[in-house]
Amino acid sequence: MSKSTFITMYLIGLLICVGLPRRHCSAYEDEGFQFWSTASASFDIDRKWKGKFEEEFRLGDDGGHLYYEHSDLGFIYTGLAEWIDVGFNYRQVFEKDDGGEWRQENRPHLNITLKTQLLGLDFSDRSRFEYRDRETKEDFWAYRNKVAVEFPVALTPLKLQPYITDEVFINLDEGDLGRNRLYAGLSIEFSRHLKGGAYYLWQSTESGGEWKDIDVLGIQMQIYF
């Protein structure tokens, strides 16, 4: 069996596992299915600076109810070294509360991303420090760590690139772990200026002393200028 065939079968098996009802793959009960859609545009400012704008929409209730939207503008500095990027971002979030009212949140965040290659795999480790300025709830500082592994296998002429990502969320004011996200997906290179992708996400969130899960099907589209 070739390396590419092995990796492909491994990823298919992982997707099947995390996509099955939670009673088979997790100790926690499933809390529902969602659909997330993300579109972004990236552009070069000069040799060391890049800009990026992102829009994301999230639909709950089995993908039929819009409850979340964010707009994110960031500037990334790549001049320190090839293995590190530093980003400065501002995100504006609108999300429905339990009563169905839209609430605004302002979320500036600092991102430090480390990149390397190991055993032919592309690794990245992003640390995000964000301040969550919420409209009707208490503000707090949060830390998010996102580790991604991209496999060096381009499948089909569309250059399908499999990857796995895990992200943890920590409330720095309280010092506890509040959320974990596990992604498995494929990125697609349509052209030098247009990329897309699809992923499956399992999110587990602590709420009231219990862990509640959601299953997400997501799509992404990225334009490069």
Q: Mind listing the pLDDT tens digit of every residue in the chain (225 residues)?
A: 444 444 444 444 444 444 443 333 333 344 679 999 999 999 999 999 999 999 999 999 887 899 999 999 999 999 999 999 999 999 999 999 988 999 999 999 999 999 999 888 999 999 999 999 999 999 999 999 999 999 987 777 777 899 999 999 999 998 889 999 999 999 998 888 999 999 999 999 998 888 999 999 999 999 998
Residues found in the chain: 225
Looking at this protein, which amino acid is placed at residue 196? G
Half-sphere exposure of 20 toward its Cβ, with a 13 Å CA cutoff?
A: 10
Return the HEC string of 78-92: EEEECCEEEEEEEEE
| Contact status, residue 28 vs residue 35, Cβ threshold 8 Å | no
pLDDT, position 32: 79
**1.10.3210, 2.40.160, 1.10.3470, 3.40.50: which CATH number matches 3-224?**
2.40.160
Tell whether the torsion through CA atoms of 75, 83, 120 and 128 is positive or negative: negative
| Residues paired with 112 in a beta bridge | 86, 127
- The structure's pTM equals 0.82
